[in-house]
Chains A and B, each alone.
Chain A
Amino acid sequence: MSIRKVIERLLFLVVVIWTASTITFFIPRISKRNPIRERFGQLARTGGFSPDELEIIIESYSQKFGLDKPLWEQYADYIGGIARLDLGVSLYQYPKTVLELIQEAIPWTLGLLVVSTILSFIIGNSLGAVAAWPRAPRWLRSIATPFILFMGVPPVLLAVFLLFFVAFRLKALPLGGAYSIGVIPDQSLEFYLDVLRHQLLPALALIFGTVGGWVLSMRGMGVTIQGEDYVLFAEHKGLSGFTIFRDYYLRNALLPQVTGFALALGNMVTSGIVIEQLFGLPGIGTVLYNAIKANDYLVIYGVVLFITIAIATLMVMVELLYPLIDPRIRE
């Protein structure tokens, strides 16, 4: 591991960000849709604009947002903006900036998606490792099976069922929302507990829906590693089962899983978009969903880019941290 490697990885990060921003810039253009028009079209629903007036207004605002410039110029502005961490303003929620929207939403998303991903990672990998470990007691190994079966249940589907049966029928947990209706956020414990209660169902749906994937891949990884010579060697050396499990088996099996963690976060976002929306949580998924529905270009760009950067950064970080966990790579 050299400084060259670090620079290389950081360069990689820049390329990923550039690619993501280019894709997100050009793909919405395929649709030939004009967000300004749509914004005013919607406004006009409640008013009596005439077509000519509408055209004038649309033109003046297109100018304001730079949408009348040639494509390459918009692209240059856009990339330049990203370099300055300026993601522009929301067309739909004008004058809010994209960064402000993300900032408002991110605590909720971190709270739900990241925590769910971490929990799912830990539960799934523990169960998967044990399931693949031939010396573990049979009952312990079989715990994993039902979780694998949950793999076939999309989190969104689970969420729909949980909402109806647990929240509506049993009235056990709230029917969505970030906190109870009419509650004004404050520092009290009561408020935190209220927030927590509202996060339980969506988190449950996300965790149960994704934990099976970890179980399965960890189990596969464990199975592969048991065949490796060093594990066989350790067995013959007469090391205790637990030591082998921890030092030879788990440590090696976990490595590729850690790489997968960053990608799993990406998948979680997919489910999160619909789940946050379904539960009425004001997170990044909801921001994105609304932006997609309203064709709010700059917000779509900004959020996709933000998510991509987060995932890519996490990936690079994991790669750079690898040598700390795996001595073999240090050379």
Chain B
Amino acid sequence: MKKWLLTLLSILVVFSFVLSACSPSEAPEAPAAAEEAEEAPEAEEAAAAEEAEEAEEAEAEKVEEAEEATGGIAEVAREDTLVLGWSIASPIGVTNPWAVPGYTHQEGNTFLWEPLYWFGIFADEEIPWLAESMEYTKEDFTELTIKMNPMAKWSDGVPVTAADVVFTFEGQMNDEKLPYHGQFDQFVESVEAADELTVVVAFKQPAPRFKFEVLMLKFDTGIPIVPAHVLGELDSWNDFPGDLDMPHSGPYTIVSWDNNQKILDLREDWWAVEAGLIDTPDVKRIVMFNLGGQIGQNMDVVAQRIVNNEMDSALDMRSDLIKSILAQNSDITTHAGDNPPYGYLDWWPNSLWVNTQLPPYDDVRVRQAMNRCVDRDTINEIVYEGAEIADVYPFPLYPGLQAFVDSPEVQALIEQYEPRKFDPDEAAALMTDAGFVLNGDGMWERDGETVSAVINGFEGIHSDIVPVLVEMFINCGFDGSVNFGDNAFQNMVDGEAGMYMWGHGASLKDPYAAFELYHGRYSADLGTTAGTNRWSRYSNPEYDAILDEMAPLASDDPRFHELAAQAMEIYWRDVIDIPVIQWLHRIAYNQTYWVNWPTVDNLAAGSNGAFWAHTGQLVVTNLQSTK
């Protein structure tokens, strides 16, 4: 009995030591080790150190084995490699743009896929790509004709043709799991290939913005063209991950992808070079280094790695951090060079949203009062060192939108509604009017309930401004607190009490897309899920009528401008959300190995510098080596 037991125990011991990754040969000595250990503590420590090393190696070996399976990968010199820092969270091996859930273009997949057209925001330029041309062929925007580039080829040599475009569009029309299904369903009547290289799209109603909003890739919107000869063969394209070898049209191919990094190598036979659209890119390899965690965490370590030239770029930074980076390494620059605000205007101005259907936020006076509590000058001073970042618009002031804002109609509205005014006294008057009284803690209260001003936001990107906003609300009598928890986003989706710090990501040229976010058809009822950027759940037939009239009008139509000003008035009058700041992308560009980053003085391909956006491909392929 005892012998049997001993045998069992020693097996357990062996197991336990294998578990702790020691070499098995040491295991039989284990039971004695406890007794002998202390005879010579120092020696034991030394042995343990060795043990540790072995363990590390053993562990490395395991990782290694997994790696080896993918086959040998050529060495590429650091000077030919672009190192980008990003938090990669999508499942390994998902490269198929139609894989649901799991696909994102932001984590390097944008280097695989291409659109009909790009749009370069800072050059204000439409860049034909897979298509040679794409024009509305009827006056009233009800038909669009696309001519494909005859040189375009997938990575397996099959040409990209009209059939691929038809497949892509019809997929969006018929598959409600694809993100642009809604837009296709609303506008597109039919898609037809007139010949090998020509596609004609017929619309159900005038669609003057469809070409720009849906068919061009820019920022995070638009659709890429997918290969019909690959996805068309499948029973369910949503379940197909794509893996590393899915035929694609873009310049890079993923050669390695693990939890630490994603490595993409240049495809020497990229069609766009042959077609004369671009020179052979200098960047031979892209390493997307996984920063881990949530987006925006541990950014000071990222900053340190950029300063040490380990990384060439990474996601955008808070204001002080980028300033310190620039001060510590003169080879690093930003979109604005070494000057404040160290970045470019992104399309994502942030508001504080509330659920306008939920009491007490359903009372317009409460929203107006909250808006009067935001001291935008103090925000500029404290958070942005005096840079003019705080603002009152739900769209970025790119040229077209700046022109709209500068028009006399909108200026008159600003005079009338003073959306920027900070005035706690007026806030107090509004709250009293709405039936609130100040309680013992100095908080507005009605029926025993204070007004929740818990701000749901995201630590990585909002940790500088949200605590400041919370304090402003508390000083003004609103029950403020910070929620950077992992449920912050869900609270917005569910329309929970509290405020949501979130951007718009809609308008680029005219204000229609931003205003459309508040259209009643997107206003989910209480207790249901709100669509992204539709957190306000605002519903007002008067407003909807304005938007419906705007939809088929081109943006240079005078009537369009008139209607837009009306919508702007309602936005400020009803405080649909509380606009707080313009969003800046302060992205570090390290010029030790790579130059020709898109900046204010050097537009490069004309796109914004975010390598994670759809136009990231333009940024990377236009970089020039310093060799």
Contacts and interface: CB of A to CB of B under 8 A. Distances in A.
B522 A51 contact: yes
B529 A118 contact: no
A246 B48 contact: no
B261 interface: yes
Contacts of B304: 163-164, 167-168, 175
A45 interface: yes
Given A3-B1, A126-B38, A292-B486, A44 B13 contact: no
Contacts, number: 272
Nearest to B179: A47
A122 B21 contact: no
A1 B3 CA distance: 12
B55 to A, nearest CB: 5
A297 B301 CA distance: 29
A325 B51 contact: no
A181 B261 CA distance: 8
Contacts of B8: 6
Contacts of B301: 163, 168, 175-176, 278, 280
A177 to B, nearest CB: 7
Given A175-B304, A295-B487, A44 B31 contact: no
B102 interface: yes
Interface stretch (A19-27, A34-42, A70-78, A230-238): A34-42
B37 interface: yes
Contacts of A289: 293
Interface string B432-447: 0000000000000000
Contact of B59 (A50, A111, A167, A325): A111
B209 interface: no
Interface string B267-307: 00000000000000000010101111110011011001101
Nearest to A129: B38
Contact of A41 (B37, B176, B490): B490
Nearest to B502: A45
Interface string B95-106: 000001110111
Chain B contact-residue range equals 35 or more
B490 A33 contact: yes
A21 to B, nearest CB: 21
Interface string B350-388: 000000000000000000000000000000000000000
A325 B9 contact: no
A282 B292 contact: yes
A192 B57 contact: yes
Interface stretch (B63-71, B141-149, B469-477, B546-554): B63-71
A96 B258 CA distance: 13
Tell me if A's interface is mostly helix, strand, loop or mixed.
Answer: helix
B260 A317 contact: no
A28 to B, nearest CB: 11
Contact of A295 (B261, B311, B486): B486
Contact of B532 (A34, A49, A177, A251): A49
Nearest to B307: A168
B353 to A, nearest CB: 14
Given A50-B522, A178-B260, A115 B38 contact: no
Given A182-B83, A321-B13, A175 B294 contact: no
Nearest to A47: B179
Contact of B529 (A47, A54, A164, A317): A54
Contacts of A254: 34, 38
Contacts of A90: 91
Interface string A154-186: 000000000110011001000111110110111
Contacts of A51: 522, 524, 528-531, 534
A77 B558 CA distance: 63
A56 B177 CA distance: 9
Given A280-B291, A320-B9, A184 B39 contact: no
A239 interface: no
A108 B62 CA distance: 9
Interface in B532-565: 532, 534
Given A111-B55, A176-B301, A53 B91 contact: no
A293 B308 contact: no
B183 A108 contact: no
Nearest to B532: A44
B20 interface: yes
Contacts of A286: 292-293
A115 B260 contact: no
A50 B531 contact: yes
B489 A38 contact: yes
B487 A33 contact: yes
Interface in B61-109: 61-64, 66-68, 73, 76, 78, 81, 83, 89-92, 100-102, 104-106
A105 B260 CA distance: 11
Interface in B168-227: 176-177, 179-183, 220-221
A324 B297 CA distance: 48
A171 B328 CA distance: 14
Interface in B101-123: 101-102, 104-106
A195 B41 contact: no
A325 B35 contact: yes
A187 B64 contact: yes
Nearest to B83: A181
A178 to B, nearest CB: 5
Interface in A278-312: 278, 280, 282, 286, 289-290, 292-295, 310
A59 to B, nearest CB: 11
A304 B49 CA distance: 29
Contacts of B291: 280
A185 B531 contact: no
18 contacts: A33-B487, A38-B489, A49-B181, A55-B529, A95-B91, A107-B60, A115-B56, A122-B44, A126-B45, A181-B83, A182-B83, A186-B68, A187-B61, A187-B64, A280-B298, A286-B293, A290-B292, A321-B31
Given A119-B49, A175-B310, 14 more contacts: A47-B179, A48-B182, A107-B60, A164-B300, A164-B304, A181-B310, A181-B311, A186-B68, A195-B59, A199-B56, A250-B38, A277-B297, A293-B293, A320-B9
